Structure 1
C-alpha cells in the first residue's frame, strides 16, 4: 500500500491524545455529602467494573477514529498489484514497443504496427502528471533518443512516428534494456509495459533478462489471426570455382510459413538483369532449395538477387548476394632440380596464353626468397627440399594453395606435410618405366575440382595406368582422397588447412611414372586445380551483412590515399571506419546500414567489391506465441510476475488513472468509530441497587 500524501502521516501522532487523556484524567473529584455510605458500598464493585469496560471501549474508538482520519487524508492506494492501469504513486514507466518487420502484417483490425501505436498512445495517456515516460522501440531508429520525459507530448509524438524496421532485438533483450533505463529512474514505483505481436522466432535469446525487485511488468499482446508469409531466406554460391563464361551454380532457399501448399514464381537477377527464372512448389514449414545456373560475363564483383512473387511481407520477397569472379590466379611454378617440369609448364602455359592464369616459373633454389604473398597458388614439381615448411603451411592457412608432385626423393615433401598436420609419404611402390601396377579407380565427382570437366556422354575419364606411385598414408588432418588407385595409394589427395588446401599427386608428371600426362584429363585438371587452389575462401566470402547489425568487410586491391566509401542502393554514401591489415583494408560497418540491398565499396571511381545486405531471416516467420505461453517465458526470463492485459480496455484517458482509491474506506471506518463512540457515551445506564 502506498500513499499519495505521505507527509500527512505525521498526524498519526495525534492518536496519542486520547491515550494521554485516559491515563491522566484531569477532572477533579467533587465532595458530596451523604447521610450514610452503606448503600454506596453495596454497588461499588459492580459499577467500577462496568465503568472500566466503558472507558477502555471509548479509548479504543477515539484512538482508531484519529488513526483512520489521518490515514484517509494521506490518501492510501493499493500498490501490490498496481500496473499502468491502476491508481498509485508517481511512477517511472518504460514502454517497450514492438516495431519489428512482422508488425507490417495485417489482420482484421488493420496493420499491426498501427495497432501497436494505438495501444502505446493509450498507455502513455493513462499516466499521470508526475510520471516519467520512456519509449523504447525493439528496432531502434538511428535518430531515436531513449530518454525519460516528464510530459506525455514528446513520447506521443515519438510513438506516432515509429516505423517498422529491420534489425529488431529479441523482446527479452529489449526488456533487459528497459530495466537498465529504470535503474536511474527518479520514482520508486517502476513499470515496464510491453506491446507486441509475440512473434515466436524473435521473442527471446540466450542472454539473461533478469530484472531487479520492484519492477512491474505488463504485457499487451496484439494480432488476432495466424499470418501467412512466403520468403527467400538464403542464397548461396554453390560453385567453388567461378570463371567468366562458365556456368555457376547458385542455390536459393524459399520457405512458406503458414497457409496452404502452392506455387510461386522465382527469378534470379544479376546486375539488375533477369537471367533465370523458375516455379517453386512450396509446402508450409518446409524449406525448398531452388537451384539456378548463371554464366558471369566478366571478371570482377557482381551483384545479384533472388526474388519471388510479391506478398503481404514485401521486405523478404528478395534476398541479395554478391558474386566474385576472381582475376586469373597467380601461380608460382617451382621446378625441382633434375626433375621434369616441362609437361606441367606446358599445360599451365596454355592456360596462361588464354588469360586463364598468370604464371611465373622459378627454380627450386629460388623458393626461399620468393614473396608468396604475391601468389595465389604454388606448384611444386619434385623438389628435393621445400625450404621452410612452416612458411608454406602458413601460406595455405591464410587461403593460399599448393599443388605438389613428388620427385625422385618422394620423402622430400614430408616436412611440409608434417607442418600441415597431414599424413606422410612412406616411400613408393613400383619403378619408373616398369610394369603397370594398376590403374585409377574411383573419382570424387562431387568435388568442385571436377565440376564441369566431364560431359554427360562421358561422365568419367579413362583409367590412368600406373607404374610408380608414392605411398601416402593419411594422417589426422582434414583430408579427402579425390582419385583412388588399385594400389591403395591415392593418385590425388586433398589436405585442407585453415582457408586453403594442398592437392598432393601420387605420381610425378613423368611418363615413366604413369600415362597421366598423355590423358585428356591432365591439362584441364591442372588448370582447374590452379583455379580451385587460388579461390581459397574468396567465393564463400561474399561479405554479406545483416541490416542494422553491422560487421566487417575485407577489401583487397586498395590504392593509397583516398578513403573507401560505401555506396548504398539508394545512392547514399557512407564512410565507415577503416583499418589497414596485411594485404587489405577492413571496414567496420555499424548499424547505420539499415536498408537491404547491394552496396558498393568504392575508392575514387573504382568499385573494389560488392556487399550484400539482407534482413534477418528469422523475422520472416510470423508464427506467434499464445499470450499465456508468452507470459510464462517472460516470467522465466525476467524473474518477475507478468500481468496480461488483452487490448486497451480499462485504460483511463485525459491523464486520469483508473482504480479504486483506499482513502474512502479509511474515512468510513473513522466515521463508524465516531458514531460508535457517541452511542456509547450517550446511552449510559444508571446504576441500581440489587
Structure 2
C-alpha cells in the first residue's frame, strides 16, 4: 500500500495527544475501608481492573481514530502492480493525442469539444510531477519525428498553437506515432491520452492498414480514451460539387451540380444552398432532406467575368460549419493569345476570318508565323497554337515539349501538304497515327460526308437551339487525310470510311485537336458551312477551358506544381483567408516540379510568379468527417485488439472525475473512503465506551 499524499502523515504526531491526556487524567483511586465486609474489597478490586481496561481501550480507540483520520487524508492506495520502483514518485512518459478535425468543433453548453479537450489537457499538464515528460500529437499532424519534452511551457505553447483544421486525420496513424515514441522511452509509467469524438469511420482508413503494435505497446502502457458528447447533431454538408460545362466563356451560361447530404437524425426542411462566384451570390436553391438522405441540386447562372473565378456553394450554418462550403475554380483568360503557324498564307485565311468575325473576337490576340519559325518562338506565351501543315525540315521539338507541359494545339493539313510531310508532323509530336490521302483536289462531283458525330462532346454543348435534336449539315469533302484514331484518341466526327474527320488526343499534360482536311476550298467546302466558324471558336474555348481534373483535392493532400519550361525563382502561394506564403525555387535543386503540403484549410490555392498565375487548386473537406456516427466501446475495444494492444485502457466521459480515474489506474485503488468510515465507526465505539467508563468511575468514587 502507498499514500498518494504522504505529507499529511505528519499529522500522525497527533496520536500523542490522547496519550498525554490519558496520563494527565490518571489518578489514584481513594481506598475505602470496610472492616467488617471483606467481600466488598474483592468487588472493588474487580471494578478497578474493569475501569483501567476501559481506559486503555479508550486510549487505543482515540489513537486509532487519529491514525485512520489522518491516513484517509493521505489517500492510502493499493498498488495495481507490484514492480519495484512503481510509486507516486515514478516518472511518467505521456503521449497526448488531440483530434483537431472539424467534427470536434461541435458546441455544447460547456463549449466546443475541441476547447473542452484543450482545457482538460492543460489541467493534466499542471498536475505533472518533476521528471514527467510529454509528447503532443494532433490528428492533422504530418510530422514523422516526435520528441518528448519536460518543459511545461513548451507543451502548453504547442497546445495553444493547435487549432481546428479541415484535415480529416485518422486516430490509427496518431497511435502508431505514439507507440513508436513510447517504445523509446525508459520511464516506468507510459501513458496515452486520446481526446476525440471517435467517429466510426475515422478510427482507421482501411483495415488493411492496421499494424500489430504489441512489440511497441508493452503491457504496462495505459490508454485513457476521453469521449466527447455523442448527442444527435444537426448537420447538412455539401459532399460533392461539379461544373457541368467543359467550355467556359464570358456571357455564356454555366451549370453546377451540388450534392447535399443530411447527416442528422432528423428531417431538415427548407434548407438554402447558395452559389457564389468571386464572392457574389449568383443563384440559390431550397431543399428538404430526410435523415441520412442525399440530394443533387442544380444551380445555373451566366458568367459575367473573366480571369480567375473562385466558386463555391454554401449552406446555412448548423452544428458543423466547416462542411457547409465546397469549392471549385476556373480560369478564363481575359485575352486569349493565339498563334497560327502555316507554310502558306492562304491556308490560314478562313481560320483568321472565323476567329476575327466572332462575337468574342475582341478576346483574341492573333499572331501569324511561318512554320519554319516555330523553333524560335516562345510558345509558353500563347494559349492556343494552330499548326497548318509543315515543311520537311521543320523542327517540332519545342512544340512537342509545349504540348507535354500542358499546351493546347489545333492541327490541320496545309493546302499543299504532301502525305509524307503531314505524317512526319504527326510523328514529331508523338501522334503515332497513319495518314494517307483520299480523293482528289477540287473534284466537287465526288465527295465524302460525315457519318457519325459525337454530340455528347463538350464542343457541341449548347451549340444548337434545340439541343434535344442536334443536327449538322455535312460539308462536301473532296480530299482528306485518312486517319484512324482507334485506341489512341477520341473520334468526335467520323467519315463514311470510319476514319476521323475531327479527333482529340492527350499528350502529356496537353491536348491536340486534329482535323483531317485543310481549311481551303480545294479540299472541301467546310470553310463555307455555317458550322465552320462556331466549331473553330468553340475548339479554342474548349482547349483553353482547363479541366478541373487534377486540380481538386482533399484538405491535407500534397499538391504537385509543374514548373516545366518556366524560369521561376520563387512562387507566391495565395491561401484561403488572404494568407500568403513564399516558396524559394532556388533551394529546390532545379527540380521541374515542386510539392506543397500546406493545405490545412479548404478553399482555393493559387500559385503565382511575378503576379502571373502558374497553377491553382481547389481544396475541400473529406465527406467522411461529416458523418455523425460514433464508435461505441465495443468497436474501440475491437480496434485495440486488432492492433495487439495488451495494456489497460479506460473510457472517460466529460463529466467523469478524470483525475481520480487516472490516479487509480496509475497507482491502484484508493482506500481513503474506507479509512474515513473506519474512523467514524471507531468514534462511535469510543463514545459508547467512554460513557460506560464514566458510570463505572462514578460508582467507585
Q: Distance in 2 between matches of 1:575 and 1:362?
A: 38
Pick one of 240, 265, 274 that aligns with 2:272: 265
Please state how far the C-alpha of 1:295 moved relative to its aligned partner: 2.9
Q: Distance in 1 between matches of 2:591 and 2:280?
A: 31
TM score, norm. by length of structure 2: 0.70
1:372 aligned to 2:379?
Answer: yes
CA contact (8 A) 2:237 2:626 kept: yes
TM score, norm. by length of structure 1: 0.71
Pick one of 463, 474, 477 that aligns with 1:453: 463
**Residues 113 and 293 (structure 1 numbering): CA distance in 2 closer, same or farther, change over 3 Å?**
same
Q: Which residue of the partner structure matches residue 517 of structure 2?
A: 507
Describe the SS at the equivalent of 1:618.
Answer: helix
Pick one of 257, 266, 272 that aligns with 1:251: 257
1:464 aligned to 2:464?
Answer: no
Pick one of 309, 330, 333 that aligns with 1:302: 309
Pick one of 491, 501, 506 that aligns with 1:496: 506
Q: Distance in 2 between matches of 1:188 and 1:582?
A: 46
Pick one of 319, 322, 332 that aligns with 1:315: 322
Alignment of 1:115-134 (within 5 A): 116-117=117-118, 120=121, 131-134=132-135
Deviations 1:557-595, CA, capped at 9 Å, x for gaps? 99999x66555565554434445999999886553x655
Please state how far the C-alpha of 1:306 moved relative to its aligned partner: 1.1
Describe the SS at the equivalent of 1:239.
Answer: coil
1:400 aligned to 2:401?
Answer: no
Deviations 1:373-402, CA, capped at 9 Å, x for gaps? 333333233435472455443332222222
Q: Which residue of the partner structure matches residue 170 of structure 1?
A: 170
Q: Distance in 2 between matches of 1:432 and 1:581?
A: 58
Alignment of 1:41-56 (within 5 A): none
Pick one of 513, 527, 530 that aligns with 1:517: 527
Deviations 1:77-125, CA, capped at 9 Å, x for gaps? 443999x9x9895432212222321112256887433554566567668
Deviates more, 1:313-322 or 1:599-608: 599-608
Describe the SS at the equivalent of 2:452.
Answer: strand
Q: Which residue of the partner structure matches residue 99 of structure 2?
A: 98
CA contact (8 A) 2:390 2:425 kept: no
**Residues 613 and 556 (structure 1 numbering): CA distance in 2 closer, same or farther, change over 3 Å?**
farther
Please state how far the C-alpha of 1:171 moved relative to its aligned partner: 0.8
Please state how far the C-alpha of 1:522 moved relative to its aligned partner: 0.3
Alignment of 1:4-43 (within 5 A): none
Q: Distance in 2 between matches of 1:557 and 1:327?
A: 23
Deviations 1:593-651, CA, capped at 9 Å, x for gaps? 65544566677888888765544443222322232222322432465556352537574
Deviations 1:441-482, CA, capped at 9 Å, x for gaps? 3322222222232222773222333333332122542x1111
**Residues 141 and 485 (structure 1 numbering): CA distance in 2 closer, same or farther, change over 3 Å?**
closer
Describe the SS at the equivalent of 1:387.
Answer: coil
Q: Which residue of the partner structure matches residue 139 of structure 2?
A: 138
Describe the SS at the equivalent of 1:259.
Answer: coil
What count of residue pairs does the alignment treat as equivalent?
Answer: 583
CA contact (8 A) 1:104 1:164 kept: yes
Alignment of 1:592-607 (within 5 A): 594-597=600-603
1:622 aligned to 2:650?
Answer: no
Describe the SS at the equivalent of 1:631.
Answer: helix
CA contact (8 A) 1:483 1:491 kept: yes
CA contact (8 A) 2:459 2:542 kept: yes
Q: Distance in 1 between matches of 2:336 and 2:164?
A: 46
**Residues 640 and 481 (structure 1 numbering): CA distance in 2 closer, same or farther, change over 3 Å?**
farther
Please state how far the C-alpha of 1:409 moved relative to its aligned partner: 2.1
Q: Distance in 2 between matches of 1:528 and 1:444?
A: 15
CA contact (8 A) 1:247 1:295 kept: yes
Describe the SS at the equivalent of 2:401.
Answer: helix
Q: Which residue of the partner structure matches residue 495 of structure 2?
A: 485
1:241 aligned to 2:247?
Answer: yes
CA contact (8 A) 1:132 1:148 kept: yes
1:279 aligned to 2:286?
Answer: yes
CA contact (8 A) 1:87 1:661 kept: no
Q: Which residue of the partner structure matches residue 542 of structure 2?
A: 532
Describe the SS at the equivalent of 1:276.
Answer: strand
Q: Which residue of the partner structure matches residue 29 of structure 2?
A: none
Describe the SS at the equivalent of 1:575.
Answer: strand
**Residues 320 and 462 (structure 1 numbering): CA distance in 2 closer, same or farther, change over 3 Å?**
same
Please state how far the C-alpha of 1:266 moved relative to its aligned partner: 0.9
Q: Which residue of the partner structure matches residue 412 of structure 1?
A: 421
Deviations 1:482-518, CA, capped at 9 Å, x for gaps? 1123332222111222222222222222334332111
Q: Distance in 2 between matches of 1:164 and 1:437?
A: 68
Deviates more, 1:238-247 or 1:641-650: 641-650
Q: Distance in 2 between matches of 1:501 and 1:610?
A: 19
1:328 aligned to 2:335?
Answer: yes
Deviations 1:142-169, CA, capped at 9 Å, x for gaps? 9xx9743377x98689779965433353
Q: Distance in 2 between matches of 1:550 and 1:577?
A: 17
Pairwise CA RMSD: 4.6
Q: Which residue of the partner structure matches residue 185 of structure 1?
A: 185
Describe the SS at the equivalent of 1:245.
Answer: coil
Q: Distance in 2 between matches of 1:416 and 1:248?
A: 37
Please state how far the C-alpha of 1:523 moved relative to its aligned partner: 0.8
